[in-house]
Every structure is written in C-alpha cells, then in structure tokens.
A and B are shown apart, each in its own frame.
Chain A
Amino acid sequence: MSDPQAVTTAESAVGRDKPRSLAGDAWRDLRRNKIFWVAAVLVTVFVVMAIVPAVFGAGDPRDCALSRQHDGPSGNAFFGYDFQGCDVYAKAVYGARNSILVGLLSTLLAGTIGLIMGLTAGYFGGWVDAVLSRGIDVVLGLPFLLAAIVLARRLSSDPSNNGFWAVIVTLGFLGWTTAARVMRSSVIASKNQDYVAAARMLGSGPARLMMKHILPNSTAAFIVVLTILLGTNIATEATLTFLGVGLKGDAISWGIMINEAGPNVRTAAEPLVWPSVFLALTVLAFIMLGDAVRDAFDPKLR
C-alpha cells in the first residue's frame, strides 16, 4: 500500500543529518521510549541482585530457625519467614543469581542453537533444510520432562557437581526448537524478498546476504519467542530442582522457593507471593525490553 502520509512527513522535515546507522537510529529511538527505560531499570536491578546480592541489605538466607516458622514481616525480614524459618526477602534476593543466570544462560544457549539451525535450514533450503527440520521434529517429539530428567541426571552424575550447568545445558538443548522453527520460517520469508534478489544481483556473497539483508529482517518473531522462553526456563528450573535433578544441595532459587511454599500457602502466603513477584517482574522486564528493542530496529514503526 502506498503511504502518502509518510511522504508528507518526509517532505516537511527539511535539512540533512549526519550519516547514521540502523543501530544508531535504534538507540535514538530507544532513548525516548518510556517502556524501554522501565524495563532497563528493572533488568539492571535484577542483574545487580544476581551479581552482588549483598548490596540489597538482606540477611543470611541460610540462617534459618524453625522457631520463626511463618513469622510475619518485620524490620529484620521484610517479607517474613517461611516454613523452615528462613528470611523470605534474603532468599528471594540470593535466589536471583541462580534463577536469572539459569534463565539467561539457558535461553542464550537455546537462542544460539535455534538461530544457527533456523538460519541454516532456511537459507540453504533443500536437503540441508530437510535434515535439520527432521532434527527439530525429533527433539520436539521428545517428552520434555522425561528427556530433561534423563539429560540432567546424566550431566550431573558426579556428586561434586552442583547441577548449575547441567540445568542450563538441559534447558538449552531441549528448548531451542520453537526458536529454530520461527527463525527458519522468517528466514524463508525474507530470503524470497526482492531486496535479497537485488543484493544477489549486485554480487553479494552468502555472508553479506545473511548478515545485512536476511537476519535483520527475520528477528522480530524470534525475539518474542526468546523472551517467552526466558520465563519458562526460570520456571522449569524449579520443576527440575523439585524433581531432584536440578540444582543440588542447599541451592537457593525462586523456583525452589515457589515449590516449597506451595503446599503451605493457606498458612503463609508471603513465602509464595514474593518469589513469584520477583519472577514475574523479571520475565515482564525482559519481555518489555525485547519488545522495545525489536520495535526500535524496525524503521517503519518510528
């Protein structure tokens, strides 16, 4: 559709600016986006929490005493105490590291695998696509929990292993399929666009085609899938830990807290509510960030 309105705006903005890049323009756009700033602040808070939990003034999360079981909030423990008499606030703060790191790293791993598989399958097509797509189908066909239990078990069989990397690798290797499929179909769609033909005609090689023309126009849906995957991975870590194949020993994570507090929610809601709020805020922050970044890289929405 022709967009006459765009033309008038083009005509009215006279004068020329310095050469710009897509990334530069995206940044200029992001700086003016309130949602981006809200998301960025939240993400920063949680990342700092994951790296240096001490600055949040929480007590020792492992200092538990059954005598304080389900005590209400107080100056010492803002969110009260849980079933085992541990400080909920302290646990939530110290749990950030495991939850966010597991979520981020496993999503990063899944995203990388998905990107490579999707891009390769979509770009080359033919038998490469046929083989990779069947590979995706196979992984997608595995019963997730069963596969996750077997894989995580196998990866953390050594007793000295605390299960951290095992969870990440498990989630990464089982979670990339949707991202790969979405990537593949976006790549196929943009590969057939005329501007890719135009670039091929000019003589650009596959690397340039992929990086300059196909990839930048194929990431929108992919980013959405990844932000959703981030939330699911943080929650799935809890499931695995609950089943005894996730984080080991006295590890702390939001997922573990939510699991433990679940059965006692009628007696004390705080131990369940607060880690859930932290988890929800984190996921929300990353989803908003993903949305803002995706929109900023689409010149049409500017």
Chain B
Amino acid sequence: MTDIQAQIDVLPGLDPGAQLLEVNDLHVEFRTRDGVSHAVNGANFRLEPGETLAILGESGCGKSVTAQAIMGILDSPPGYVTRGEVKYRGVDLLQLKEAERRKVRANRIAMIFQDALSALNPVFSVGFQLAELFRKHRGMSRQDAKKRSIELLDQVRIPAARERIGDYPHQFSGGMRQRVMIAMALALDPEILIADEPTTALDVTVQAQIMGLLAELQRERDMGLILITHDMGVVADVADRISVMYAGKVVEEAPVYDIYARPAHPYTKALLSSIPRLDMKGQQLSVIKGLPPALNAIPAGCAFHPRCAYARDQCRQDPPPPAYDVALGRTARCHFWREVIGDE
C-alpha cells in the first residue's frame, strides 16, 4: 500500500493537514442543441473526516451533477465545469491532469450509485472485479488479491463470502449487490465516499441494513461521507450536516438538528411540511405550488421566488440573495431568513 501512498503524496501541493474536501463556487453547465442548461450555479461546501454531509434536493436540482463534477466523471461534452474549485487536501482537483485525477479517483475519493446492477460489469464474477482492483492498483498477486476480496466482502456482511466470490452480479439480490458495490468503492481505502441515492431502489428493510452498514464502515475508517438523496427521512437518521440544493445552488446549509427544528430557507421549510410523517395522522400537507424551474430558464433574483410564500419585490430582482450567515456554520440564501426562521 505504501507505494501508492507515495504516488498520491507526490501530488503537487498536497497538504495532509488541509481540509479534507472543499468545494468553492462550483459552476457546471450543459451545452446542448436547445441551449445552455445551468445545472450547478455556485455550490459551496466542506467535508471533514468522519463527517456525513447530506446533499438534499429534488430531481434536477444539480445534486448528482455536483457529485460527478467532484469525481471528475462528468459527461463532457455536453457537461462543462465553468468555474470554481474542488479542493482535496489543498489540491484543486479541477486543475489536475486526467491521469493524476484518475489516481485520486481510485484511491482517495470513491463513489457508489443508485443502480448497482448497471454499475457492476455483468460478464465478470464479483470476485474477479474486486481482485482486479487490488492487482491493478496495489500490484498484489492473484492469491493475495483473492484473499483480500473475501475479507472485504466479509466486511460488508455478505454471508458466505468465500463461496459467493465466484458469483456474477445478477446472482445477488438488490441489497447484496449494493453491498458488493460498497465493497468495490472501499477496496482502496478512500478517505471520501460519495453515495448517490444509495438506497432509493431498495425496500425499506434493506435500506435500513445498508444505511447501518455505511454508518458502521464510516466510523471504522473515519471516512468523509457525502450522501446525495431526496429522502428527508434517511437524512434525519444519518447526516451530521445538510446542504439543501435548489436550481443548482445550495440554498441552505446547516447542522441536521437545526435545519429540522428551525429551517431558515422557505424551500426547506416548505419541503419539510409537504411530506407525510409515519408517526403523525391527519396532518395537513402543505403544497409547494408550481414546478422547479427549467435549468435553461432559471428566474432572475432568487430562483425559488415564483413558488415562495415569502417572496417580495427584492426577491425577483438580481442579484440573487447571498449566503447569509444565520448562525455559526449555518447559512441560508434568503433575504428574509429571519422571518422564516422565527415564524414557527
């Protein structure tokens, strides 16, 4: 392992003491025949080791694109990062050459996806795919790689890992496949794991298993976890901090307890009161009127103003609301956050 560590450590500017991950003012756009879609318009966040940051939002809010930009797996064309930086331990990943970037991707930042079946190669056995990682990146022998693969499958709680190592992805159930994908992501001991809707396709009982496993592995390895999801319930259970995205911007960022107790952005507040709760009956579901904006026609001013109950003239005009400091480590992009937060 030390060889690779050395290779990574020669990344120019790498500072082991620096912030684990820092995303500043990230902009991503998609240039298509029908015009330019602004998928991400200034995303900012930081991640500490051992911390779980949830990026919460609806489809089309730019949360997955942000993850792809951090990983450097954006489809390009049509997608381009036009501005901003993604700093891993002080190194701006966006400035790296593709070869260096690939090394970071394999060894330092890993990602798991919603659909494990399409993320695994169907024609190779799970054991082969895992062993391949160790042989390629760690230069292990066939024997050692196999042993290490079995250990890893054991760690993600796949029963009878030794017997199942020759099985193909389709022979595993949905939950087990997700575990295999987690094993592959963790194979090279990354410091950061990005999970893009990891349990959306799974049943609730399996979802509970997988989220529990992720939390446990994260604790063991002191890993930074970015959880991308639309599920406010899952977030409440596992996240330390939350970034709520809307129309490509982080509209509110806060520690998990604060945001559920006293949301400071009207969008967050409306989302929270629009979901039915398991432990309550007869609550009135409030409705967010209208639809999220098309990304090639984002409204001027605050992007949420056409759907917002608090909107005034100031909200309809540029410049869009800046990230106001609501409290220590807590921001909201709303001119009237005081009103929103106090109005319970």
Question: Are A and B close enough to touch in the complex, i.e. CB under 8 Å?
Answer: yes
Q: Is B34 an interface residue (CB 8 A)?
A: yes
Q: Which residue of A1, A2, A8 is within 8 Å of B297 (Cβ)?
A: A8
Q: Which of B94-102, B255-263, B286-294 contacts A (4 or more CB under 8 A)?
A: B286-294
Cα(A8)–Cα(B292), bound, Å: 11
In the complex, residue of chain B having the shortest beta-carbon distance to the beta carbon of A12: B297
Q: Is B171 an interface residue (CB 8 A)?
A: no
**1/0 per position for A229-256, CB-CB distance to B under 8 A?**
0000000000000000000000000000
Contact check, B294 vs A2: say whether CB atoms are below 8 A apart: no
Q: Is A198 an interface residue (CB 8 A)?
A: no
Q: Is B264 an interface residue (CB 8 A)?
A: no
Q: What is the predominant secondary structure among interface residues of chain A facing chain B?
A: helix
Q: Give residues of chain A (100-135) contacting chain B, Cβ–Cβ below 8 Å.
A: none
Q: Is B43 an interface residue (CB 8 A)?
A: no
Note all chain A residues with C-beta closer than 8 A to B59.
1-2
CB distance from B61 to the nearest CB of A (A): 11
**1/0 per position for B283-327, CB-CB distance to A under 8 A?**
000000001111111000000000000000000000000000000
CB distance from B33 to the nearest CB of A (A): 12
Q: What is the predominant secondary structure among interface residues of chain B facing chain A?
A: loop
Note all chain B residues with C-beta closer than 8 A to A2.
59-60
Note all chain B residues with C-beta closer than 8 A to A5.
34, 294-297
Cα(A8)–Cα(B291), bound, Å: 10
Q: Is A202 an interface residue (CB 8 A)?
A: no
CB distance from B247 to the nearest CB of A (A): 10
CB distance from B141 to the nearest CB of A (A): 45
Note all chain A residues with C-beta closer than 8 A to B296.
5
Q: Give residues of chain A (1-29) contacting chain B, Cβ–Cβ below 8 Å.
A: 1-2, 4-5, 7-8
Contact check, A7 vs B291: say whether CB atoms are below 8 A apart: yes
Contact check, A8 vs B294: say whether CB atoms are below 8 A apart: yes
Contact check, B34 vs A4: say whether CB atoms are below 8 A apart: no
In the complex, residue of chain A having the shortest beta-carbon distance to the beta carbon of B297: A8
In the complex, residue of chain A having the shortest beta-carbon distance to the beta carbon of B291: A7
Cα(A216)–Cα(B116), bound, Å: 34
**1/0 per position for B158-173, CB-CB distance to A under 8 A?**
0000000000000000
Note all chain B residues with C-beta closer than 8 A to A7.
291, 294
Cα(A1)–Cα(B293), bound, Å: 15
Note all chain A residues with C-beta closer than 8 A to B294.
4-5, 7-8
**1/0 per position for B46-61, CB-CB distance to A under 8 A?**
0000000000000110
Cα(A232)–Cα(B59), bound, Å: 47
Note all chain A residues with C-beta closer than 8 A to B291.
4, 7
Cα(A5)–Cα(B295), bound, Å: 8
Most chain A CB within 10 A, of B59, B60, B294, is at B294
Note all chain B residues with C-beta closer than 8 A to A4.
60, 291-295
Cα(A215)–Cα(B59), bound, Å: 33
In the complex, residue of chain B having the shortest beta-carbon distance to the beta carbon of A5: B294
Cα(A7)–Cα(B297), bound, Å: 11
Cα(A92)–Cα(B34), bound, Å: 45
Note all chain A residues with C-beta closer than 8 A to B60.
2, 4
In the complex, residue of chain A having the shortest beta-carbon distance to the beta carbon of B34: A5
In the complex, residue of chain A having the shortest beta-carbon distance to the beta carbon of B293: A4
CB distance from A5 to the nearest CB of B (A): 5
Cα(A20)–Cα(B192), bound, Å: 55
CB distance from A226 to the nearest CB of B (A): 28
**1/0 per position for A249-274, CB-CB distance to B under 8 A?**
00000000000000000000000000
Cα(A2)–Cα(B60), bound, Å: 8
CB distance from B298 to the nearest CB of A (A): 10
| Contacts A4-B291, A7-B291, A7-B294 supplied; 11 other A-B pairs, CB < 8 Å | A1-B59, A2-B60, A4-B293, A4-B294, A5-B34, A5-B294, A5-B295, A5-B296, A5-B297, A8-B294, A8-B297
Q: List 5 A-B contacts (CB under 8 A).
A: A1-B59, A2-B60, A4-B293, A5-B294, A8-B297
The 8 closest A-B pairs by CB, nearest first: A4-B294, A5-B294, A8-B294, A8-B297, A2-B59, A4-B60, A7-B291, A5-B296
